[in-house]
Amino acid sequence: MSEREQPETTRPAVTPPRSAPDTPASAPEVPPAAGLRRELPAEVPPAAPQTASERTGANEAPRTRTPHASQQPQRSHKPQESETPAADGPDEPELTGRRRLVNGLWPPRVTRAQLIVALLLFGLGFGLAVQVASTSETDSALRGARQEDLVRILDELDDRTERLEDEKRGLEKQREELENSSDQAEEARRQTIEKEQQLGVLAGTVAAQGPGIEMTIEDTKGTVESDMLLDAIQELRAAGAEAIQVNGVRVVAGTYLSDADGGVSVDGNKIKSPYRFKVIGKPQDLEPALNIPGGVVQTLEKEQATVTVERADKIVVDALRAPKRPDYARSSSQ
């Protein structure tokens, strides 16, 4: 029986020593010499050190003929490299800044403080929206006005400012006269008489005359109400009217208007259409105040009433009011 056909059990336990390239798997414990290592191909990695149990099993196991190092297939380390990440698990992708932002915002986490702040901001925004809407409604008439109307309104405001400045200068002049007059008692008496006449005109206890306007309101449909006439009186007062008379009734600070059957009641005196206003004041201020966009004239014309305004150099207001002593108010000088 040849050596190749002889059973493995009859093979001698000790085999002739082979060169390091013939038996790379069963290398002896002593590392090979440096000369032999230089003879190996550069691409073949050195054999991994074996443990004691592996060396023992290798000595006991039957030896088989191994191919030469040049014939032995080279082992690739790529499977080992692929197994190592598999053992450690797949690497998680690094989170970007946008991904962190999304993870922080969703799902939303609403706290009680955030909810309170949101409610406060909502209330603030709603209030601002309401204020802007109301302001837009108030300014809608001026936004749609023509350039001539805007210029007229501006002139009216300038006239009011000038009128107040004149009144201020008059009061300052009176003070200087009182301070510089040699006979202060006589000067005070004279100014008191002038003031009494002025207050009598305002209170309606004395007649008055001067430049002004006449306004006539024809109400054929019966649509003019007391509040519309009251608006006209207030507009005239704001424009500088000093004396007003409506259909023979003197208008004063305490005048009241109310609706009546077929007309309007002024201080309990019933008047009917046409309503005639006699107003003493500066015509250049009174007439534009009535004709401003959205003013008295336009409001009455919307109610199908006819309004005419005429300037006059002399207007006589002769309707008088009986002086009435106040029930409760008394002069503080007494």
Q: Which are the contacts of 297, defined by CB distance < 8 A and separation ≥ 6?
A: 290, 291, 307, 309
Name residue, tokens 């500066």. Answer: 282
Cα separations in angstroms, 186 against 181, 193, 195, 256, 296? 9, 11, 14, 39, 46
Return the pLDDT at 244: 94
Say whether 280 sits in a helix, a strand or coil.
strand
Low-confidence ranges of the chain (pLDDT < 70): 1-95, 108, 135-144, 181-184, 333-334
Return the pLDDT at 138: 57
Q: What are phi and psi of 225, to 5 degrees?
A: -115, 175
Return the pLDDT at 185: 72
Residues 233 and 286: beta-carbon distance below 8 Å: no
Instruction: Of 77, 26, 31, give the one whose Cα is nearest residue 56.
Output: 26
Return the pLDDT at 330: 80
One-character DSSP codes across 290-326: HSSTTSHHHHHHHTT-EEEEEEEEEEEE---------
From CA 23, how far away is CA 59, in angstroms rounded? 13
pLDDT, mean over the chain: 74
From CA 319, how far away is CA 82, in angstroms rounded? 116
